[in-house]
Amino acid sequence: MDIYARLKELGLELPPPPPPGGLYKPVKQVGDLLFVSGQGCTREGVPCFTGKVGAERTVEEGQEAARICVMNALSVLHDYLGDLNKVECLVRLQGFVASAEGFNMQPKVIDGASRLLADIWGEDNGVGARTAISAYELPGKITVEIEFIFQLKA
């Protein structure tokens, strides 16, 4: 399966890679693993969603924010690898959700990211281990930030 054809089939287009927000590498390769630094729900460095889920944002808006994080991750991976077809699978996803007091549905928010990755790579390769964590504040007051670990094809 060609990943770019699959993205097109899903009506998706890779955004430009987001500008770095500090001193770090967007992707760090160790062996056949690619560690993708936390990606926020931004487009060209501008937040698409700010505020906390359970107060200013709905679960559905949080899910859309999580999907934007995935697209940014794919963009930095494409920039690093030159070809997303070199990716075998998602290994792990760690999602951070800016949450209002008492909000405890972070897994449902991060399902937005997990569903998109499953739609792209399929259930076997697009779903990995996962953590969904509440955060009181995220950089730039964004609603969701996600970091990823992908494995390259042998």
pLDDT at position 112 = 98
- pTM comes to 0.97
Q: What is d(CA 121, CA 77) in angstroms, rounded to the nearest whole number?
A: 15
pLDDT in tens, 64-112: 999 999 999 999 999 999 999 999 999 999 999 999 999 999 999 999 9
DSSP track, 4-24: HHHHHHTT--PPPPPPP-SSS
Percent of residues, the chain, with pLDDT higher than 90: 97
